[in-house]
Chain A
Amino acid sequence: MSSKIILETKNLTKVFHSGLLKKRSLVAVDNLSFNLHEREIISLVGESGSGKTTVARIILKLLPLTDGKILYKGKDISEFKKREELINYWRHVQGIFQDPYAPFNLFYKVDRVFNIIFSLFQEPFSKDDRMKMIESSLKMVDLNPRDVLGKYPHQLSGGQRQRILIARSLIVNPEILLADEPTSMIDASTRVDILRVFLSLKEKQGLSIIFITHDVGLAYYISDRMLVMQKGQIIEEGKVEDIIANPKQDYTKKLLSSIPTLSKKWSFSERIGTH
């Protein structure tokens, strides 16, 4: 790809220690290196426990890393230690998580999630300017501000809430979005709207997105490149079309063959007793 690299990870490693005197250890992420280009969506795909979420949390600086380097536009992010530096980093790199219910307080109106981001980033804007920013970012996620502002969380659907959370992260004009299973708690008929939002953010706003999912179908639909993870390592990497058409690793082949599709029906009689 010809465009510039915006985020680069080099030999990322994370070891969790547990037990008495931290004697037991678990290598969650093992020597992971990948690049994210501008205007690109990459997917991290893997089964549970493969270390996808740990990668996201390390990149968002919510977890310290054991070894390796993350370069954001050539700068090592482990050097960001002061609060101002961190906040400045988060201005460019924002995260969206799985649960669209947890971030809302059910006693307050949904507008409050926006206030939190304004106060954290201490934007010196007047009330009217803030309102304009909120409205423009809501429009970016295909929501009509009149439909959602001033409502309580229980009055909105899961899909609307998730889009509000995406809109919130867009307020600070980030360059990278980390989406950790953003559609796994959302119904099929509204999931498509969220995927469309991500695609239009890439096309129109030029965002780079790291999309973390266990669903190979979603990864294939939304992303340009796919990284297949197993036990903390990237075992296969490439254009989504290539990986789907001819997977090279046995694990990828097995993963693809166990995904139920509409066109093919499995023959169960051959498989019974194999597990």
Chain B
Amino acid sequence: MSILSAENIKAYYKLLDSDVKAVEDVTFSLKTGEILGIAGESGCGKSTLAATLSTVILPPLKLIDGRLITEDGKNIFELKEITLRRKIRGKYLALIPQSAMNALNPTKKIKDLVIDAVKAHYPKMPKEEILKNSMKQFAELGLPSRVLESYSFELSGGMKQRSIIAISSLLNPKVLVADEPTAALDVSTQQAVLNLLVSLKEKGIVQSIIFITHDIAVLRQIADRIMLMYAGMIVEVGDTEDVIFKPLHPYTQGLISTVIVPEPDIKEKVLTGIPGAPPDLKNPPPGCRFHPRCNFAMPKCEKEVPSLFSKSGRIVRCWLYD
């Protein structure tokens, strides 16, 4: 069953003279109890998609088209701001924005932030009760209770990120959208953060997680399915192992082949990379947005945008699989 389904989402940055087509025609469904990984390079629309999904659509970003359907069939984009604030944000859908740990207010203790966050949803709940609940939640997630009494600058990077994750999951949201939660962390702290996310799901605090990253090797560790984006569009969706070991789309093949890991056979491998650079989204190339860099480009690719084709349980946007 799907807990969240996105249908044809289009979100553009409105500029004076043109639009930056950052998210174009994104359709996917998130199942209950799964971790969906969204991967892609910088500028492919991952973070714009995260902002759109969590309904934090601030100018110049504008939602052009699309529906976001909840479990009980409501379209989130049609709800009023006040309902969004009361019922959706933080409760149904919570976002951990990129580099959120750097945004912790250094003059406030973590417990004050917790109280603020909960009071926004339950204005009448007494402080003691909020603190008691949060202490329980923090303990369950393996965070020491001294964290609540600390200022943000007293915590290490990994600790800050884990506190942020704990705070965003306080109200037991059904869907957690994590935008690059492990960027700028060392590998051992990264592991701790990934552990935390998995345990959030396993303990039933959140139901499903959308994990956004540029690091495919991280997705291999935690994601059940991977969705790859290129230049604002979905190029491939499939089970993690299928996508990594049998990539279909030429872009996925290129991207997987550039993953460098410390394993004996990587030294013999000739890494080729992908020639060229991602397109300018103000003026994306016609047809398939990847065709200028693609080795398999056909005349058709320059003219028509491929639709999402289904191939043995996977979805791929490429004319090769028509």
Where the two chains meet, the residues of A that have a C-beta atom closer than 8 Å to any C-beta of B are: 47-48, 157-160, 187-193, 195-196, 214-221, 241, 244-245, 254-256, 258-263, 265-266, 268-269, 271-275
Contacts and interface: CB of A to CB of B under 8 A. Distances in A.
Contacts of A271: 191, 195
22 contacts: A47-B187, A48-B186, A157-B277, A158-B42, A187-B42, A188-B214, A189-B258, A192-B273, A196-B271, A215-B260, A258-B190, A258-B191, A259-B261, A260-B190, A260-B215, A261-B220, A261-B262, A262-B216, A265-B221, A268-B202, A272-B199, A274-B195
Contacts of A269: 202
Given A192-B271, A272-B199, A218 B190 contact: no
A130 to B, nearest CB: 27
A221 B195 contact: no
Interface residues on B, range: 35 or more
Nearest to B267: A221
B221 A260 contact: yes
Interface string B202-224: 10000000000011111011100
B188 interface: yes
Contacts of A195: 260, 271
Most buried by A among B261, B274, B277: B261
Given A217-B262, A266-B221, A47 B195 contact: no
Contacts of A218: 260
Contacts of A48: 157, 186
A222 to B, nearest CB: 9
Contacts of B117: none
Interface in B254-291: 254-256, 258-264, 266-267, 271-274, 277-278
Contacts of B195: 268, 271-272, 274-275
Given A262-B216, A272-B202, A191 B262 contact: no
A38 to B, nearest CB: 22
Contact of B142 (A159, A189, A273): A273
Interface of B: 41-42, 142, 157, 186-188, 190-192, 194-196, 198-199, 202, 214-218, 220-222, 244, 254-256, 258-264, 266-267, 271-274, 277-278
A187 B218 CA distance: 15
Majority SS at the chain B contact face: helix
Contacts of B188: 47, 254-255, 258
B41 A221 contact: no
Contacts of B41: 187-189
Most buried by A among B190, B202, B221, B255: B221
Most buried by B among A215, A261, A275: A275
A256 B261 CA distance: 10
Given A214-B186, A261-B220, A268-B195, 8 more contacts: A47-B187, A48-B157, A217-B261, A220-B260, A259-B187, A260-B220, A268-B199, A273-B142
A267 to B, nearest CB: 10
A187 B214 contact: yes
Contacts of A260: 187, 190, 215, 217-218, 220-221, 261
Contacts of B215: 260
Contacts of A188: 41, 214, 216, 255, 258-259
B262 A244 contact: yes
Most buried by A among B198, B222, B258: B258
B224 to A, nearest CB: 11
B217 A190 contact: no
B255 A262 contact: no
Contacts of B258: 188-189, 191-192
B273 A190 contact: yes
A196 to B, nearest CB: 8
A275 B218 contact: no
A267 B41 CA distance: 27
Contacts of A196: 271, 273
A256 B188 CA distance: 9
Contacts of B260: 191-192, 195, 215, 217-218, 220-221
Contacts of B254: 189
